[in-house]
Structure 1
Amino acid sequence: MKDDQEQAILSVHVRGLDGMCVGCRAWWSRLTPYPCWQVDWATSRQAQTITARFLESER
């Protein structure tokens, strides 16, 4: 996946006023507590990318 796809997920899957994920409700009509698994996945991918870039710059 590309960074822009992860950003798209993070921009849609945000916390609603009721504490539920807005993206899950809009796309799948699911009441999912925030952070949903899509947010967890996207943030972990971003962390992996940042860590890899940092470690490569240390060499």
Structure 2
Amino acid sequence: MNDGQEQAILAVHVRGLDGMCVGCRAWWSRLAPYPCWQVDWATSRQARTITTRFLENVR
């Protein structure tokens, strides 16, 4: 996976007015509370990438 794919997930899977994930409803016709597991995954990947970049620059 690359940053572009994570950004695409985060752009589509946003909170709807009803508190449900818009991306899950549009792609899978599934009612999932926001944040859904795709958002959790994408944000954790971003955090790992940021942490790795920071730690590489500290050395």
TM-score (norm 1): 1.00
Q: Distance in 2 between matches of 1:2 and 1:55?
A: 19
| Equivalent residue letter for 2:49 | T
CA distance in 2, matches of 1:34, 1:22: 8
**What is the alpha-carbon root mean square deviation over aligned residues?**
0.2
Kindly, what percent of the aligned residue pairs are identical? 86
Superposition pairs of residues 1-59 of structure 1, within 5 angstroms? 1-59=1-59
Stretches of structure 1 lacking an aligned partner (at least 5 in a row): none
SS in 2 for 1:49: helix
CA offset digits 1:2-24 (Å, max 9, x no partner): 00000000000000000000000
Unpaired stretches in structure 2, ≥5 consecutive residues: none
